[in-house]
Structure 1
Amino acid sequence: MPLPTDTSAPHDFDFIIGDWRVSHRRLKTRLAHCEEWVAFDGLSSTTKILGGFGNVEDNLLQLPEGPYRASAVRAFDAASGHWSIWWLDGRNPTQLDTPVVGSFEDHQGLFYAQDSFEGRPIKVRFTWLSTPGQDPRWEQAFSSDAGANWETNWTMVFHPALPRHPAFPPQG
């Protein structure tokens, strides 16, 4: 039974609530001038939590080397107007990734974090695109030079799990 949503809850991530088939593309090697992409499918299901001030995304990623589960946890801080997003990889279930923090403007969400990759300090950027009438899209990019240059290394396009009836166009 879903609990009621708070009437003052933000609607930034309403576009991703529900069940999805996901088309993934990921660079074979990150931050190594690689141009070879690996494509794979996945499934995703997102539900609201915290009265609408957060959500949880459950994922099944069907990598060529074998499937795994992961989850994104998102929470909105009403005082700052920013979202924080944590990633929990089922292959390492005792550690949450460093959260990326940001907000939406004109159907685009930008979220950043300072992190490390293979022992090097990096900046991480998540970009969410929620253009009305189009399938939602997510991108991850890394920068090893404090944000002067970015390498997009993973993209996801979310397709409705069930075909939409023509009378019910995509939600914006």
Structure 2
Amino acid sequence: MTANDFDFLHGRWRVANRKIADIAGRGTEWVEFGARADVRPVLGGAANVDTFDAGDWEGMTLRQYDPAAGLWRIWWASTRAPGQLDPPLEGRFTDGHGVFLGEDVVGGHAVAVRFDWTAGPAPVWRQSFSYDGGDTWQENWVMRFEPA
């Protein structure tokens, strides 16, 4: 785990998304849509910022490495929640797999949030929620990245 863990993500990407349509309502209907992402290093490489364009909405992520703690923190914001920055998730990579955990409130319910990153030339990101303190997880969004 180093400040270079997310270097695989730098660049421009086409993103295939598969997401539960109503995450806040704990829905079960999946939708698919395309998006574009542009990821660049900042702060001398100890962080990166991405912009995510899904056509009718936009998002952005800040990922920052904390060398003293040996972990990454990830923040998300989007035009779907104007003026809000989601609480950070924290975690690290081991053998090309990153696990990041945090707490949030979604649809009025406290939820544990998990991001799973699989590094490589065709990265995959997965988001899961737990409503029981992490005993069980429901995957609700998958992004597959291809170079643009």
Q: Structures share a fold, TM > 0.5?
A: yes
Which structure 2 residues correspond to residues 47-62 of structure 1 after superposition, within 5 A? Answer: 47-62=40-55
Which structure 2 residues correspond to residues 130-141 of structure 1 after superposition, within 5 A? Answer: 130=119, 132=120, 134-141=121-128
Query: Match of 2:33, SS?
Result: strand
| 1:89 has 2:78 as partner | yes
Aligned twin of 1:99: 88
C-alpha displacement of 1:90: 2.3
**Counterparts in 2 of 1:90 and 1:28: CA distance versus 1, 3 Å:** closer
TM-score relative to the length of structure 2: 0.93
Aligned twin of 1:3: none
What are the ranges of 5 or more consecutive residues in structure 1 without an aligned counterpart? 1-8, 162-172
C-alpha displacement of 1:33: 6.2
Q: Which structure has more strand as a fraction of its residues?
A: 2
Identity value in percent: 39
Count, aligned residues: 147
**Counterparts in 2 of 1:36 and 1:92: CA distance versus 1, 3 Å:** closer
User: What is the aligned-residue RMSD (CA, Å)?
Assistant: 1.5
Which structure 2 residues correspond to residues 15-164 of structure 1 after superposition, within 5 A? Answer: 15-30=8-23, 34-62=27-55, 67-130=56-119, 132=120, 134-161=121-148
C-alpha displacement of 1:117: 1.4
Bigger relative CO (Cα 8 Å, ≥ 6 apart): 2
What are the ranges of 5 or more consecutive residues in structure 2 without an aligned counterpart? none
Q: Which has the larger radius of gyration?
A: 1
CA contact (8 A) 2:24 2:107 kept: no
Query: Match of 2:65, SS?
Result: strand
Query: Match of 1:15, SS?
Result: helix
**Counterparts in 2 of 1:91 and 1:30: CA distance versus 1, 3 Å:** closer
| Matches of 1:83 and 1:52, distance apart in 2 | 13
C-alpha displacement of 1:32: 5.8
CA contact (8 A) 1:31 1:151 kept: no
